[in-house]
Amino acid sequence: MSGDVSGYGRLVRRKPQWDSTPRPYGGYFDDVVDELSFALGDEFSYAVERVVVHAGQLTLHVTRGLLLVVARALRDVPALRFELCCGVSGVHYPQDVGRELHAFYPLMSITHNRRVQVEVACPDADPHVPSLFSVYPTVDWHERETYDFFGIVFDGHPGLTRIEMPDDWVGHPQRKDYPLGGVPVDYHGASVAPPDQRRSYN
């Protein structure tokens, strides 16, 4: 497979993997899941919806109501010690009915030199996710950006306002249902047309 993403390089589009990966996961992944399961006890089966290993990465899909519980365990349990959250990214899956909006958190354990991803989903009709600011203050601006571009409301964030778009902007421009139309932009003396007027792909 080439690195060409234009569609002309015989790029293979893979279906997203929604099911749990069977054990053994390999490497330190089994240890991380076992330690988290031990730390959460009976709550683990409610908190972690599925465990996915793909492309050499471990992703824990977490119930949004228990996101803070899982994050604190990942940070505080000595055998886990994921001290750093590298940010949060939003993803919009319109076809994932009832779970259209996803927030994705890459975590790193500096102590153990390990990485894990935490993913949480919420419906478009109720786009609320608990803020991780109280656990990982580094997510401050990242949660604002994800709110700005995807419309995910991070409950408990100390100042959840737009960070890129103007305060009176309507909509969230990184969502897949956001129209491509726009306004012309003046750049170095040239006028750049809105995206929907630049070129026809039909």
pLDDT of residue 36: 97
Averaged pLDDT in 10-residue chunks for the chain of 202 residues: 51 63 94 97 95 94 97 98 97 92 97 97 97 97 97 97 89 85 69 68 54
- Judged on CB neighbours under 10 Å (0-12, 13-18, 19+), 154 is buried
Secondary structure of residue 166 in the 3-state scheme:
coil
What are the sequence ranges of the domains in the chain? 29-171
Residue 96, Cβ density class (10 Å: 0-12 exposed, 13-18 middle, ≥19 buried): middle
Superfamily of domain 29-171: NADH:ubiquinone oxidoreductase Nqo5 subunit (3.30.460.80)
Q: Whose CA is closest to 25, among 48, 62, 63, 59?
A: 59
